[in-house]
Amino acid sequence: MATMKLGSKPEIFVLQDLTWRCTIELESDVVVEVGEMSFYLHKFPLLSRSGVLQRMISEYQAPADGGGMCTLQLDDIPGGAKAFELAAKFCYDVKIELNALNVVCLRCAAEYLRMTDDYAEGNLITQAECFLVDVLANWKDSIKALETCEGVLPTAEDLHLVSRCITALASKACGSDAAAPVVRNASVDKDALWNGIRSGDTTSSAAAAAAAAGMDWWYEDVSFLSLPMFKRLIQAMEAKGMRDESIAGAIMFYAGRFLPGLKRNTSFSNALASYGADGSGGAGGGMSSRNITPRAASVSAPSEGDQRYFLEEIVALLPTKKGVASTKFLLGMLRTAMLLHASPLCRENLERRIGAQLEDASLDDLLVPNLGYHVETLYDIDCVQRILDYFMSSTDGIGTGYTSPALAEEGGGSLGIPQGATPSSSLSPITMVAKLMDGFLAEVAPDTNLKLPKFQALAAVVPDYARPVDDGIYRAIDIYLKSHPWLSESEREQLCRLLNCQKLSLEACTHAAQNERLPLRVVVQVLFFEQLRLRTSIAGWFFVSDNAAGGDGARPHAGGAIVPKGTAAIAGCPQADADSDVEGDAPDGKETITDVKARVSDLEKECKSMKQEIRRLGKPRRSWSLLTRKCGFGAKVQQAQTAMSGK
């Protein structure tokens, strides 16, 4: 910390019971009272340095009885008794040391006392201004000087000391920011649910990215400023062209130090209790809600009104650019805004920001507790519905990663996944949001107070083509049906219309075929589409065997087996891939036909078990016969057996 030494004489003042006395031989002839402190001084040193004291001494009228010394009142001097003590020592040429912590107060006191060069060359104003240049050249000293401006407002404002400190700080931070590399936010997935939704904590934030790039060196220093000073500093940095990512990182760090309820595992009441205060008072120390600082909060807990004001100001201060503030932070701010009953405009602002980057959210953070006056459900479903609506309205084509079915078909990809890219690394935002919503629905489904229309409305916002696989929505529906056993058959069927049975995985289909909670129509649909898949697989195998026998249009496979030209149409089927592996391992065509016979035998057993399942669900035998005849499966199996027996 920079320092400057003034004066040449040794200490001549002694403090005794709130009284400063001069130890020189001459008797004091003037008393200066500053608050509760009294200074017994001499007129001549004061007259030679201060215009105000000169005027006050000349205008002083002694009492009629002629007793007592000249007594002056300086209760409104900036910096109080401490600042006047330094000014008095300067008048006596006693050694004093200027530093970043006292120069602002001393400069304001010197201005108040009019200690200009008109009364003495190199007076206190000149010395303080000279030292301020050195203070503002250093970051740490500038921060300390700006903090001390709080105690001498508005004199520091009139002397432009606040603006000079802020300008110096903004220039230094922006210079460092311009030289720092740009680092994109990175998210880390820890836990996953059955449908692939992130449920663990994520480290995706502008602050984390800034830390990785070394841009956050100034965050902690400015986090101790009061809100008005912090706002002015941030606005000055914006005016000088600082990147939005750096500004958002500083704001997030600042908010994290002040708002005790921002962390998910800390409730508002527990956070207040952690301060060791009852939470009923204000900022403490005579500070109002508009100048409360995180440092003051560590001593005395701020009131709920102070925190609400702080949160609303922070939300308004955040840059509008998408993605600069992490979704995790925004969701934490939204939860806190609900706890503090922030204004509707503030909450809407947060919901819109979250909706614009909903694909970056984690399931854990999206579970916002319901804090309304008329609480029905455990989690705030309406809030998530609004956020999802904002996301759907913000998708504007390729610019945000939104991919319509037409674009997906033209590009040859699926739901925004580029050709040659893996789905896990290149999922489109709308697909990621679909997975997130499926996980959210599964989490809220056990709530018995969650009404069917609200569950359906939330699930229906995401279009069907956004889900490559419907396992997630099936899981959510199954949990809801299990938690709401009183639903009628028509309500169950209405709910299951959200499900596309053709997009269920083999695991989900197996589960659905044995699920007693599903309507019979849905079970039949699942079995029907599974039979269609089996028919496709069997048809491909018979086509292979026919070509192997006739030799028409067949071509040799790398493994030695015969593969027809038309098998490319069924190459995407998982069963076909598995059968192709079996075929490739076969040494000749005879063994391949044997494998086909074994496969048909397995299919017959599977059909038999499916029949038994249908009977158990209450479906007549006649319905099963109609279903197999309609699918053509039974006839195909019979033809296959006849053909193979002939061979």
Q: Retrieve residue 446's tokens.
A: 């056990």
Q: Which of 19-23, 145-149, 531-535 has the lowest mean pLDDT?
A: 531-535
How far apart CA 630 and CA 156 sit, in angstroms, is 89
One-letter amino acid at 632 equals G
Q: Which of 135-144, 310-319, 621-630 has the lowest mean pLDDT?
A: 621-630
pLDDT at 279: 36
How far apart CA 526 and CA 422 sit, in angstroms, is 28
pLDDT at 355: 94
At 19, is the secondary structure helix, strand, or coil?
A: strand
pLDDT at 529: 80
**Could you tell me how many residues make up the chain?**
647
pLDDT at 179: 63
The answer to whether 368 and 331 have CB atoms below 8 angstroms apart is yes
The answer to whether 374 and 409 have CB atoms below 8 angstroms apart is no
What is the CB-side half-sphere exposure of residue 190 using CA atoms within 13 A? 9
pLDDT at 295: 53
pLDDT at 117: 95
How far apart CA 496 and CA 616 sit, in angstroms, is 21
pLDDT of 221 above 90: yes
pLDDT of 422 above 70: no
How far apart CA 389 and CA 442 sit, in angstroms, is 19
* Residue bearing tokens 């056993």: 485
Mean pLDDT of the chain: 76
Report the alpha-carbon angle 445-448-453, nearest 5: 65
pLDDT at 271: 41
Q: Retrieve residue 125's tokens.
A: 């104003």
Q: Retrieve residue 230's tokens.
A: 């912090």
- Give the pLDDT band (50/70/90) at residue 188: very low
- Mean pLDDT for 144-165 is 95
Q: State the helix-helix crossing angle for 139-148 and 124-136, rounded to 10 degrees.
A: 130
Cα 38 to chain centroid distance, Å, stands at 54
pLDDT of 151 above 50: yes
Report the alpha-carbon angle 515-518-522, nearest 5: 110
One-letter amino acid at 285 equals G
- The partner residues of 198 in beta bridges, in order of sequence, read 192
Task: Please write the tens of the pLDDT for every residue from 340-393.
Answer: 999 999 999 999 999 999 999 999 999 988 876 666 888 999 999 999 999 999
Does an H or E element contain 99, and which?
Answer: strand 96-99
Strand-pair category, 3-6 with 96-99: antiparallel
- Give the pLDDT band (50/70/90) at residue 549: low
DSSP state letters, 458-524: HHHHS-GGG-S--HHHHHHHHHHHHH-TT--HHHHHHHHTT--GGG--HHHHHHHHT-TTS-HHHHH
pLDDT at 209: 53
pTM of the model: 0.72
pLDDT at 281: 35
pLDDT of 531 above 70: yes
pLDDT of 401 above 50: no
pLDDT of 634 above 90: no
CA dist list (Å): 93 to 14, 40, 54, 87, 111: 16, 16, 18, 10, 18
pLDDT of 181 above 80: no
pLDDT of 317 above 70: yes
Q: Which of 264-273, 345-354, 530-539 has the lowest mean pLDDT?
A: 264-273
Residue 513 has a CB neighbour count (10 Å cut-off) of 18
Q: Which of 204-208, 549-553, 567-571, 641-645 has the lowest mean pLDDT?
A: 567-571
- Give the pLDDT band (50/70/90) at residue 7: very high
Residue 190: φ, ψ to 5°: -110, -55
- Mean pLDDT for 598-617 is 68
Residue of 419, 422, 500, 413 whose CA lies nearest to 462: 500
Name which residue leads in pLDDT, 180 or 80.
80
CA dihedral 154, 156, 161, 162 (to 10 degrees): -40
What is the CB-side half-sphere exposure of residue 518 using CA atoms within 13 A? 27
One-letter amino acid at 131 equals F
One-letter amino acid at 414 equals S
At 32, is the secondary structure helix, strand, or coil?
A: strand
- Mean pLDDT for 388-409 is 59
- Give the pLDDT band (50/70/90) at residue 519: confident
Whole-number percent of the chain with pLDDT over 90 = 50
- Give the pLDDT band (50/70/90) at residue 602: confident
pLDDT of 204 above 70: no
- Mean pLDDT for 263-274 is 47
Name which residue leads in pLDDT, 9 or 601.
9
The answer to whether 579 and 540 have CB atoms below 8 angstroms apart is yes
The answer to whether 544 and 562 have CB atoms below 8 angstroms apart is yes
Residue 274 has a CB neighbour count (10 Å cut-off) of 11
pLDDT of 412 above 60: no
